[in-house]
Chains A and B, each alone.
Chain A
């Protein structure tokens, strides 16, 4: 088979390009649904070297799509297991890491620079953003991908040429005001969030303490007082749990669903426009347990389930010390589901099955093998075009590359089963790729001898920031210096933990001029070899002047986005559009897509695996 693939590859790529492919090193981030398929494709295509990074271990619910894993592999690391599974059919050098891609010690910038191309096959926004930033910093192409059920997408990202991952705003997880969760739930999800994010950690993990100044979303002094009081009372319940005394379980239930509700009812203001909850009242517990997670249980079944799960968790607490909610941990799932449902009952809200609650509490996204196969296939094919290895199809401009979306149903106009908008130009307001960025190389010795002040001065000189600047460590979001804060200036970089992997964000703070210097970002990289004569080396790059303006309000940003897309198309891209006109008809049609159509599409498909 390998023999065959080789000949096939040579036929399509040409001997020269095939030789290049054999020497190409790529990084695959994620060995899950898309990752398994991609790894297989990359190996069969003949890539020279593939590095696979995944932090996760294998779970039973992965086996419906992550075909490199078997029942026996459950709880093994994904990256190493995947590599082992393809080894015997592979002609490529394969290296696996069971690590977080954001671990800067394990994966310094220099490590990333060995690759010609990155593939994102991730399931979370944070890591996607991180790899996108690295790609922008190193000017390396990235092929981003994701699926959710029948929907999927790929997006080749060519730094400086096409939109980056952050050029369009992404949907972030929904949040609820504290008061809705704690006092006035009006939807089942509010009860689930209460059980999962408030009750469960309060009882079973010791670390959580509600911060004193969290935004409660209410001004009612009585309500605020009650929320605070309740938090303290729950500490008492935690003691019950720790005691391991099962006879206290009815007391716990009584407190949560009778006494606490009565206290809420006492705050009359809350119930002027709302239906009053009804305290649970008298109840008995039995040992019966309903095993059907798909059914909607009766109140009695919920109570039994809650008591039973609490018993089990109490026992575990003795040895485990701290238990965190995990949708795949049945005890914790049962506890959260039953606790949420009983609360829903008290507040006259619909009861849900454990199956449904698991999806909401665990942020579960549907996933099937077929969409992953399609997306991974498209991603691997796109890589050949991104690397310009296709003999018959040379890529003259990155804009000739396509995104691809699959949609679940061929019933919506059939051509949308798979749609392929052309890549857009970078968004000039993008918080990531519109910001000039570079690497500051610094010797190990200089990290301890250089004061923050020295570094800031050098940056101001080199990039022409004449006035005050602010400096933020973007990795931890901590402010290091600004116009009103100079306490840290005399400290050494080492003391401030500014070391390899830290990303510093510089902003011109002047507010009395029309034009200011644009913001910039610097990645710190320890490099004693190149810094023999200087303590540190600043990157060669230009930072433009920009109009000083207050951040536009969120709403006008969307319009602004369209505007910029049009503007860019008018200026630098005229050439490409011309090419399109003389070229294939289809591309012209595609370029007529409204510019925001694609952006919308991406938004819908963000949190994918």
Chain B
């Protein structure tokens, strides 16, 4: 049952729920964020966080006593913050801040302007994921710091490849594809054949002839069939079959790079709950691939793209894929039940996992907020960019005096706005484990709109 508060929440956040779903929004709404450093940039970050529906925010300020302009900041906060619960202000307290347990109250920490000693302190401890952001004049930077790899459950790939398994269909699928295949003796129904069956039939023809199964060969083969059928094969489905001919040349035994990489992180130590859950799924996947059921093929996604065909043929094909997907999930479930997990992997979670399995990603955040030392062995970064980064970090941590309005160093307000927007955007990706966040540092210039990303 959905009560009126949830539905008005859903209405308010409707436009972003369309990006990351209700589940993504639920994560954001319950996430606890700590912002360290009170300055104009953190004001903008606060505003953006609240707009996305993050209400559990703690702001760690430096010593209040020396601060004369706190009233101005408060005015600014009132102006920028949308409706919502108040922010929890905490003054920097050395003893408290030295305790990792204080920081583990949060799901993510955002660091803006902070003195070197204090940033160093944070850097020494093993803390939840951190986003370190700063801008000065027209340069800005952002770094994603974490002590463990970050798994992305759903990267929302822009170009998804349909998971059709035309190279190695299981029996059920093979039968369906064969019986649907375009047939010279029933020319009046040729236009009702889904393209998957046209491609498969071409693949079969090529194999029988001993010809290599490549995209171009499949395409050529389809053309020949089409010509032999005459005008009845001039339909959309044949055009689609040629367009998607590459689907017949895929090798479903080869595990995509992104998933291979995830598998290689299957056993590294991990602390964060969502990462642990996804890692457990990856371990289960690893066992699944080795199982007699899978024979090294990924679980079937289960959904198929739109194909021009009769509804009957389409639905028949669809149900074959759905049946197999359900079977595969069942196997995963069996493997999961043998794993010793201190949390439950529900059928729903496994379903979501399988449906987006090609969207699975893992990335490596920076281990340190402070790596400003230029190392030629690190990922290539041009010296000029390195200089900018160094300049920014110096300003960020250097000679830090309590937060007056003049700090961070004067720059255009628009740069704060852009930097905050980028920071909170990455924060949402990290917390929802959807979309791929920055790996792991980027620099940008607000004048030239130039951006440069690199790994440290």
Which A residues have a C-beta under 8 Å from some C-beta of B? 1, 4-5, 7-9, 11-12, 37, 40-41, 44-45, 60-61, 63-65, 67, 70-71, 85-86, 88-89, 149-150, 186-187, 273-275, 291-294, 347-349, 359, 364-374, 376-378, 380-381, 385, 390, 393, 402-404, 408-412, 414-415, 417-420, 586
Instruction: Say yes or no: A61 contacts B310, CB within 8 Å.
Output: no
| B76 part of interface (Cβ distance < 8 Å) | yes
Docked pose: A393 CA to B418 CA in angstroms: 20
Instruction: Say yes or no: A409 contacts B418, CB within 8 Å.
Output: no
Instruction: Say yes or no: B15 contacts A366, CB within 8 Å.
Output: yes
Question: Can you name the residue of chain B whose Cβ is closest to the Cβ of A64?
Answer: B13
Contacts of B447 in A (CB 8 A): 381, 385, 390, 393
User: Chain B nearest CB: distance from A86 CB in Å?
Assistant: 8
Docked pose: A291 CA to B428 CA in angstroms: 28
Instruction: Say yes or no: B15 contacts A293, CB within 8 Å.
Output: no
Instruction: Say yes or no: A348 contacts B412, CB within 8 Å.
Output: no
User: Chain B nearest CB: distance from A413 CB in Å?
Assistant: 9
Instruction: Say yes or no: A369 contacts B48, CB within 8 Å.
Output: yes
Instruction: Say yes or no: B406 contacts A4, CB within 8 Å.
Output: yes
Instruction: Say yes or no: B435 contacts A274, CB within 8 Å.
Output: no
Instruction: Say yes or no: A149 contacts B449, CB within 8 Å.
Output: no
Question: Can you name the residue of chain A whose Cβ is closest to the Cβ of B191?
Answer: A273
User: Chain B nearest CB: distance from A67 CB in Å?
Assistant: 5
Query: Which stretch in B59-67, B172-180, B286-294, B437-445 binds the other chain?
Result: B437-445
Docked pose: A393 CA to B448 CA in angstroms: 10
Instruction: Say yes or no: A378 contacts B446, CB within 8 Å.
Output: yes
User: Chain A nearest CB: distance from B378 CB in Å?
Assistant: 15
**Interface size of B in residues (CB-CB distance below 8 Å):** 73
Question: Can you name the residue of chain A whose Cβ is closest to the Cβ of B76?
Answer: A1
Question: Can you name the residue of chain B whose Cβ is closest to the Cβ of A365?
Answer: B15
Contacts of A293 in B (CB 8 A): 2, 7, 10
Query: CB < 8 Å: which of A4, A63, A377 contacts B418?
Result: A377
State whether A410 and B442 are in contact (beta carbons under 8 Å apart), knowing that A273-B192, A370-B424, A371-B425 are contacts in the complex: yes
Docked pose: A293 CA to B14 CA in angstroms: 12
| B420 part of interface (Cβ distance < 8 Å) | yes
Q: List 19 A-B contacts (CB under 8 A).
A: A1-B72, A5-B413, A7-B410, A12-B137, A40-B417, A45-B414, A64-B15, A70-B83, A369-B47, A369-B424, A370-B425, A372-B421, A374-B418, A377-B415, A381-B446, A390-B447, A403-B449, A414-B454, A415-B452
State whether A70 and B418 are in contact (beta carbons under 8 Å apart), knowing that A8-B411, A414-B438 are contacts in the complex: no
| B19 part of interface (Cβ distance < 8 Å) | yes
Instruction: Say yes or no: A368 contacts B437, CB within 8 Å.
Output: no
Contacts of A60 in B (CB 8 A): 8, 11-12
Question: Can you name the residue of chain A whose Cβ is closest to the Cβ of B455?
Answer: A414
| B95 part of interface (Cβ distance < 8 Å) | no
Question: Can you name the residue of chain A whose Cβ is closest to the Cβ of B80?
Answer: A67
Q: How many pairs, one residue from A and one from B, have CB atoms within 8 Å of each other in the complex?
A: 208
**8 additional contacts (CB under 8 A) given A63-B83, A274-B311, A367-B15:** A4-B405, A63-B82, A349-B311, A368-B425, A371-B421, A377-B446, A378-B418, A415-B451
Which B residues have a C-beta under 8 Å from some C-beta of A? 1-2, 7-8, 10-16, 18-19, 22, 44, 47-48, 51-53, 72, 75-76, 79-80, 82-83, 137-138, 155-156, 158, 191-192, 306, 310-312, 315, 361, 405-406, 410-415, 417-418, 420-422, 424-426, 428, 435-439, 442, 444, 446-454
Query: CB < 8 Å: which of B16, B82, B421, B442 contacts A366?
Result: B16
Instruction: Say yes or no: B16 contacts A368, CB within 8 Å.
Output: yes
Question: Can you name the residue of chain B whose Cβ is closest to the Cβ of A366?
Answer: B18
Contacts of B417 in A (CB 8 A): 37, 40-41, 373-374, 376-377, 380
Docked pose: A7 CA to B191 CA in angstroms: 71
Instruction: Say yes or no: A368 contacts B422, CB within 8 Å.
Output: no
Question: Can you name the residue of chain B whose Cβ is closest to the Cβ of A390?
Answer: B447
Docked pose: A166 CA to B318 CA in angstroms: 43
Instruction: Say yes or no: B51 contacts A64, CB within 8 Å.
Output: yes
State whether A348 and B448 are in contact (beta carbons under 8 Å apart), knowing that A1-B75, A368-B52 are contacts in the complex: no
State whether A65 and B15 are in contact (beta carbons under 8 Å apart), knowing that A374-B425, A417-B442, A418-B449 are contacts in the complex: yes
Contacts of B306 in A (CB 8 A): 187
Instruction: Say yes or no: B52 contacts A64, CB within 8 Å.
Output: yes
Contacts of A380 in B (CB 8 A): 414, 417
Question: Can you name the residue of chain A whose Cβ is closest to the Cβ of B51?
Answer: A369
State whether A378 and B449 are in contact (beta carbons under 8 Å apart), knowing that A61-B15, A150-B19, A373-B420 are contacts in the complex: yes
State whether A275 and B311 are in contact (beta carbons under 8 Å apart), knowing that A67-B47, A70-B83, A414-B439 are contacts in the complex: yes
Contacts of B428 in A (CB 8 A): 368, 370
Question: Can you name the residue of chain B whose Cβ is closest to the Cβ of A359?
Answer: B18
Contacts of B16 in A (CB 8 A): 64-65, 366-368
Instruction: Say yes or no: A373 contacts B421, CB within 8 Å.
Output: yes
User: Which among A186, A393, A414 has the greatest number of chain B C-beta atoms within 10 A?
Assistant: A414
Docked pose: A367 CA to B12 CA in angstroms: 12
Docked pose: A367 CA to B76 CA in angstroms: 25
Docked pose: A67 CA to B48 CA in angstroms: 9
Instruction: Say yes or no: A418 contacts B451, CB within 8 Å.
Output: yes
Contacts of A393 in B (CB 8 A): 447
Docked pose: A149 CA to B418 CA in angstroms: 16
Contacts of A417 in B (CB 8 A): 438, 442, 451, 453
Docked pose: A171 CA to B48 CA in angstroms: 31
Contacts of B425 in A (CB 8 A): 150, 368, 370-371, 374
Docked pose: A267 CA to B14 CA in angstroms: 43
Contacts of B412 in A (CB 8 A): 8-9, 12, 45, 381
Instruction: Say yes or no: B413 contacts A586, CB within 8 Å.
Output: no
Question: Can you name the residue of chain A whose Cβ is closest to the Cβ of B192?
Answer: A273
Question: Can you name the residue of chain A whose Cβ is closest to the Cβ of B1?
Answer: A291
Docked pose: A65 CA to B49 CA in angstroms: 10
Question: Can you name the residue of chain B whose Cβ is closest to the Cβ of A348?
Answer: B311
Docked pose: A586 CA to B444 CA in angstroms: 13
Contacts of A376 in B (CB 8 A): 414, 417
Contacts of A409 in B (CB 8 A): 155-156, 158, 435-436
Question: Can you name the residue of chain B whose Cβ is closest to the Cβ of A33?
Answer: B15
User: Chain A nearest CB: distance from B395 CB in Å?
Assistant: 14
Question: Can you name the residue of chain A whose Cβ is closest to the Cβ of B15?
Answer: A367
Docked pose: A329 CA to B126 CA in angstroms: 50
Docked pose: A187 CA to B308 CA in angstroms: 11
Docked pose: A381 CA to B415 CA in angstroms: 8
Instruction: Say yes or no: B315 contacts A381, CB within 8 Å.
Output: no
User: Chain A nearest CB: distance from B415 CB in Å?
Assistant: 7
Question: Can you name the residue of chain B whose Cβ is closest to the Cβ of A70?
Answer: B83
Instruction: Say yes or no: B14 contacts A61, CB within 8 Å.
Output: yes
4 nearest A-B residue pairs (beta carbon): A373-B421, A411-B436, A414-B453, A377-B418
Instruction: Say yes or no: A65 contacts B51, CB within 8 Å.
Output: yes
Docked pose: A409 CA to B425 CA in angstroms: 10
Contacts of A274 in B (CB 8 A): 310-311
Question: Can you name the residue of chain A whose Cβ is closest to the Cβ of B446?
Answer: A381
Docked pose: A369 CA to B8 CA in angstroms: 18
Docked pose: A1 CA to B422 CA in angstroms: 23
User: Which among B44, B405, B412 has the greatest number of chain A C-beta atoms within 10 A?
Assistant: B412
Docked pose: A9 CA to B412 CA in angstroms: 7
Instruction: Say yes or no: B437 contacts A410, CB within 8 Å.
Output: yes
Question: Can you name the residue of chain A whose Cβ is closest to the Cβ of B315?
Answer: A348
Docked pose: A608 CA to B425 CA in angstroms: 18
Contacts of A408 in B (CB 8 A): 156, 435
Docked pose: A374 CA to B135 CA in angstroms: 13
Instruction: Say yes or no: A381 contacts B82, CB within 8 Å.
Output: no
Question: Can you name the residue of chain A whose Cβ is closest to the Cβ of B189?
Answer: A273
Instruction: Say yes or no: A402 contacts B448, CB within 8 Å.
Output: yes
User: Chain A nearest CB: distance from B104 CB in Å?
Assistant: 26
Contacts of A5 in B (CB 8 A): 413
Contacts of B451 in A (CB 8 A): 414-415, 417-420
Instruction: Say yes or no: A370 contacts B422, CB within 8 Å.
Output: yes
Question: Can you name the residue of chain B whose Cβ is closest to the Cβ of A187?
Answer: B306
Instruction: Say yes or no: B450 contacts A410, CB within 8 Å.
Output: no
Contacts of B312 in A (CB 8 A): 275
State whether A418 and B444 are in contact (beta carbons under 8 Å apart), knowing that A4-B406, A70-B83, A409-B155 are contacts in the complex: yes
Instruction: Say yes or no: B414 contacts A70, CB within 8 Å.
Output: no
Question: Can you name the residue of chain B whose Cβ is closest to the Cβ of A37?
Answer: B417
